[in-house]
Amino acid sequence: MSIVFDRERQTLTLHTAGSSYQMQIGPLGVLLHLYYGPRCEGCFDYLYLPRDRGFSPNPHERTEGRGFSLDNLPQEYSGSNCGDFRLPSLRLHTDRGVTGAELRYLRHEIRPGKYSLEGLPCAWDRGGEAETLSVTLRDEASGLEVELLYGVFEALDVITRAVRITNRGGQTVTLEAAASACLDLPFGRWDCLHFPGRHAFERQTQRCALPDGITAFSSTRGMSGHQHNPFVLLCDRDATEDAGACYGLMLAYSGNHETFLERDQTGSLRAVTGIGTQNFSWQLRPGEHFETPEALLCFSAQGLTPLSQRYHRFLRQNVCRGFWAGRRRPVLLNSWEAAYFDFDEASILRLAREAKALGAELLVLDDGWFGHRQDDRSSLGDWFANPAKLPRGLGPLVEGVRKEGLLFGIWLEPEGVSEDSELYRAHPDWALRVPGRLPALSRDQLVLDLSRKEVTDYLYEMISALLREHAISYVKWDMNRGLADLYSAALPPERQGELAHRYMLGLYALLDRLTREFPEVLFEGCAGGGGRFDAGMLAYCPQIWASDNSEAVSRLAIQEGTSYGYPASALGAHVSACPNHQTGRSVPLGTRAVVAMAGTFGYELDPARLTEAEKAEIREQIARFRDYDELVRTGDHYRLRSTGESACALWAFVAADKSAALLSFVLPAPEANAPAVHVRLKGLASDGVYRLARADFFGCLLEPQPLSRTRFTGAELMCGGLTLPALYGDAPSAQLLFIRDDA
C-alpha cells in the first residue's frame, strides 16, 4: 500500500520508493502538511509546537489558547482571507461579496489507479503503477468543495497533484487563483534552481538562495514561454548532483503559469505552483466545477542527478504516450535552415535525395509551403500548397520524397493566422482581439481563438484531411507568438478571464483528437524553438524542438538546463550549417554532432553546400547515432561537468542495466597549457569490467596516444576517474563508448 490512513492519528501518508509524504487532519479539520522527505515510517505532528505569535490570528472556534494559527502551520492547500497571511492556493469571490476561502476537511478516499483530468494532459498509469488519494475540503462561506487529488507512483518515485473545485453552494463563485499544488517546507534553508531565458536562449540554469519574502517565476504570454519554464527545483543550500535533499515542482501545463516561493517570518518556505493568475478568473455557477492542471512532484535525498533521472523516466513512460513515445525516432533533415522560404518542388526533392544519400530517414518540409507565403508576413491559415512553389500541389512532392526512400514530414502553425490570408478574410472574428483596439502584431501575425469549438473543429478538419490525403509521417507543430489582446468574441464579459485557459483546453483537445486518430504520425512540438517546452506538450508530442539557436556551443547550456527536468528523448536537436545562422560561430562538424546526439538528432542544412569529406563524416555520424540512440533515449543521464561552472561540458548516458556508457565531452574554448581534464564517471557497476569500445575525438589531439588503456573496472572509472587527452582547436570534443565486457 503506498497510501496509508492512520485512523488514530488521523494521518494520511503517501510512500514512494524513496520518499514519504504525510498530512494530518488536524484540529478543526485543518489539513496540515507534516512531512515530505526520505521514505520512513512515523508521525511527524510532534514537530509543530503550539506557539502564540503576535499578529498571527487564531481560528475563532479555537478556545484553548493562542498556539494554533493558520499563519504558522504547514498546510496542504492554503486558503485566503482567513488568517493565513502567506501565499494562498485558492482565491475567490462570490456574487454576494464573500472573498477568500477557509478550507476544512470533509472526507477522503483511497482508490487504486490514477485519477484523470478532463481535457488536461496528465500522467497515466500503465497498469497497477499508481494509487489515488482524494481529500475533499470545504469552504463554508462560499459553498465550494475542494478535492485535492494525489497520484502516488510508488516505484517511479513521483507524486502527482491536481485539484477539482466544485461549487456546491447557491452563489456564483469566481475563482481568482486555483493552484495545482502547495508545498510547505517548514524547516531548512533552501536554494532554488530555475530556468530563465529568452527566444534562442532558453532554459539557462540559475541557482539562488531564497531570500525572505516572495520569489516568483511566471509566464503571462499564453504559453509556458521561453522566459520561465514551469519547472523549479528546491534543494539544500549545499546540495550537489549527488548529495542533499531536493524537491522538484513541475507543471504539466503549456499556458500561463506561476510558481511563488515565500520564505516567511519564521523561515518556513511555502511553494505554490499552478495556472497563472494575471488576467485569470473562472466563474462557477452552482453545480459547476473546475480542474487545475497537474503538478508533478518528486523528491531526492541524494542530490539533483537522481531527481532529474526520475523525471526523465516518468516523462518518458508516464507522460509521453502513443506509438512514438518509446520508439527510436527517424533521423531527419529539416528544410528550414537549408532553404528558409526559398524552395520549390525540384529543390526539395533534391534535398530529399541528398538527405537519403547521407543516411537520413525523414525529410521535413518546414515553413513556406502554403498559401502564397514567401516570407513570414502572410498566409498562416491557408494550409494548401503554395502555387508559386508547388504548382503541382503537395501530392507529387510527398510521393517524390517517399520514392527517394524517405518519410515525409511537414510544418504547420495551426494556432497562427496572418491578416493577409483567406482564412482571416473569411473569419476575422476568429482571431483574438479586443473590440475597439487594434491587436498587437508579433511576427506580423495574430492568434486564432482556440477557445472556440468551431475554430478547433475547423483546424481538426483541415489537418486531418491533410494527413489522410498525404502520406505524412511527421508534423512539426509550431507557434510563433504569445497571446496578447485577450478577448474572445464567443465569451460573455464575465467569462473573459477564462480565455487563456480555455485556449489551452482547446489546443489540448485538438492535439488529443489528432494524435488519437493518427497515432503513427510523429508530432514534434515547437514554439519559436523552445517556447513551449513543458510536460503538457509532451503528453501529445514526444519530442520538442529545444531552441531556435542550433549552434552547438550555445546549445550546451540550453540542453543542460533542459536536462534538469526533461529527458533527451524529448529534446529536439539538429546539426546545422557553419558559420551558424544564429551566432555566426563556427563549430566543427564533429562537435556539432556530439551535441545534437544528446537529443533526438537530425540535420538542418543543405547538403549541396557540403564538401565530399563533410558528407562522408555525416554518413558516419548517422551510423554512429543509430548505435547510440537507445542509450541516449533510454539511458540514465549524468551531468558530469556543468558548462556554467567550468570551461568544458561533460555528460554521460548509462544504460539502465549498466551494460554501457557513452561519455561526451566538449571544450568550447581550449586554453594554452591547460590543466588536464579529469572526470569521474557515475552509475557504472563497480565490479564490472568496461572496455573502451570506441573513442572519437573531434579537433586536434596534443598527444599521439589518446588513452593508455582500454579496459577498466567500473570502480576505476568511478573512483579514480579518467584523464582525458588534451584537445585543442575550435570547440573540440570527444565521445567515448564503454561496453561492459564481463557480464
- What positions carry a catalytic annotation? 534, 614
CB-neighbour burial class of residue 674 (10 A; exposed 0-12, middle 13-18, buried 19+): middle
- Closer of 72 and 335 to ligand DGJ (Cβ): 335
336 touches ligand DGJ by CB under 6 A:
yes
Does residue 381 bind ligand DGJ (CB under 6 A)? no
Write out the binding residues for ligand DGJ, residues 212-251 only, by CB under 6 A.
none
Report in angstroms how near the CB of residue 550 gets to ligand DGJ at its nearest.
8
Distance of CA 565 to the CA centre of its chain: 7
- b/e per residue 232-252 (b: at least 16 CB within 10 A): bbbbbeebebebbbbbbbbbb
Cα 483 to its chain centre, rounded Å, is 19
| Grid-cell match 513515445, residue found | 325
Residue 364 CB, shortest distance to ligand DGJ, in Å, is 9
Q: How far apart are CA 534 and CA 546, in angstroms?
A: 10
Considering only residues 588-627, where is the footprint of ligand DGJ by CB under 6 A?
none
Binding to ligand DGJ (CB under 6 A) within 521-550 occurs at: 526, 528-529, 545, 548
Closest separation in Å from C-beta 17 to ligand DGJ:
38
Task: Give least dist CB 236 to ligand DGJ, A.
Answer: 37
Distance (Å) of CA 645 to CA 360, 560, 637, 672, 690: 36, 12, 18, 19, 29
Return the number of the residue (498 or 604) whose C-beta is nearest ligand DGJ: 604
Q: CB of 603 within 8 A of CB of 334?
A: yes
CB 120 within 8 A of CB 255: no
Helix (H, G, I), strand (E, B) or coil at 330: coil
Beta strands in 494-573 (DSSP E): 522-525, 543-545, 571-572
**Amino acid (one-letter) located at 452:** R
- Measured from the CB of residue 252, what is the shortest distance to ligand DGJ in angstroms? 22
Closest CB to ligand DGJ among residues 13, 549: 549
- Residue 85 CB neighbours (<10 A): 16
CB-nearer residue toward ligand DGJ: 226 or 740: 226
For ligand DGJ, which is the closer residue by CB, 192 or 573? 573
Residue 508's nearest CA partner among 272, 279, 321 is 321
Cell of 549: 539557436
Cβ–Cβ under 8 Å, residues 667 and 646:
no
CB of 676 to ligand DGJ, least distance (A): 39
Site for ligand DGJ contains 551 (CB under 6 A): no
Residue number with CB closer to ligand DGJ (601 or 628)? 601
- Per the structure block, which three cell numbers stand in for 461? 478538419
Q: Is 176 in the site for ligand DGJ (CB under 6 A)?
A: no
Contact indicator for 244, 135 with CB cutoff of 8 Å: no
What string marks each residue from 698 to 727 as x (binds ligand DGJ by CB under 6 A) or -?
A: ------------------------------
Select from 591, 587, 662, 606 the least CA-distant residue to 632: 662
Cα separation, 280 vs 321, in Å, equals 30
The three cell numbers of residue 192 are 532554488
Please give the Cα distance from 664 to 696 (Å, whole number).
Answer: 10
**Which residue is associated with the grid cell 499556458?**
255
Residue 205 near residue 228, CB atoms below 8 Å: no
In whole angstroms, give the CA distance from residue 46 to residue 48. Answer: 6
Question: Closer to ligand DGJ at the Cβ: 169 or 525?
Answer: 525
d(CA 503, CA 620): 45
The three cell numbers locating residue 100: 477568500
What the block records as the C-alpha cell of 634 is 533510454
Burial class (CB in 10 A: 0-12, 13-18, 19+), 708: exposed
Q: How far is the CB of 376 from ligand DGJ (least distance, A)?
A: 6
For the bound state, the minimum distance from the C-beta of residue 543 to ligand DGJ, rounded and expressed in Å, comes to: 13
- By CB under 6 A, tell whether 382 contacts ligand DGJ: no
Burial classification of residue 438, based on how many CB atoms lie within 10 Å of its CB (0-12 exposed, 13-18 middle, 19 or more buried): exposed
Instruction: Give the nearest distance from C-beta 229 to ligand DGJ in angstroms.
Output: 17
If DSSP states are collapsed to H, E and C, what string results for 169-212? CCCCEEEEEEEEEEEEECCCCEEEEECECECCECCCCEEEECCC
Residue sitting closest to ligand DGJ (CB):
367
Nearer to ligand DGJ, 226 or 321 (CB): 226
For ligand DGJ, the binding residue among 48, 231, 260, 411 (CB under 6 A) is 411
C-alpha–C-alpha distance, residues 632 and 654, integer Å: 8
CB of 315 to ligand DGJ, least distance (A): 21
Alpha helices in 518-588 (DSSP H): 535-538, 552-563
Residue closer to ligand DGJ by CB (options 147, 337) is 337
Residue 478 within binding range of ligand DGJ, rule CB under 6 A: yes
CB of 329 to ligand DGJ, least distance (A): 17
Cβ proximity to ligand DGJ, 56 vs 576, nearer residue: 576
By beta-carbon proximity to ligand DGJ, the closer residue of 254 and 480 is 480
Residue 526 Cβ vs ligand DGJ, minimum distance, rounded to whole Å: 5
From 165, 172, 120, 130, select the one nearest 147 (Cα to Cα). 165
Residue selected from 366, 382, 404, 560 as contacting ligand DGJ according to rule CB under 6 A: 366
Site string for ligand DGJ, 434-473 (x = CB under 6 A): ----------------------------------------
Nearer to ligand DGJ, 303 or 529 (CB): 529
- Exposure string over 104-137, b if 16+ CB within 10 A, otherwise e: bbeebebeeebbbbeebbbbbbeeebbbbbebbb
Distance, CA of 620 to CA of 633 (rounded, Å): 19
Please give the helix or strand (H or E) that residue 506 lies within, else none.
helix 499-517
- Candidates 526, 615, 532; CA nearest to 575 is 615
Q: Give whichever of 291 and 367 is closer to ligand DGJ, judged by the CB atom.
A: 367
Q: Determine, following the binding rule CB under 6 A, whether residue 367 of this chain makes contact with ligand DGJ.
A: yes
Q: How many residues line the site for ligand DGJ (CB under 6 A)? A: 11
Residue choice 136, 205, 480, 600 for contact with ligand DGJ (CB under 6 A): 480
d(CA 256, CA 278): 8
Return d(Cα 461, Cα 454) in angstroms, integer: 10
Place of cell 516567511: 264
Rounded least distance, CB 411 to ligand DGJ, Å = 6
Residues that bind ligand DGJ (CB under 6 A): 336, 366-367, 411, 478, 480, 526, 528-529, 545, 548
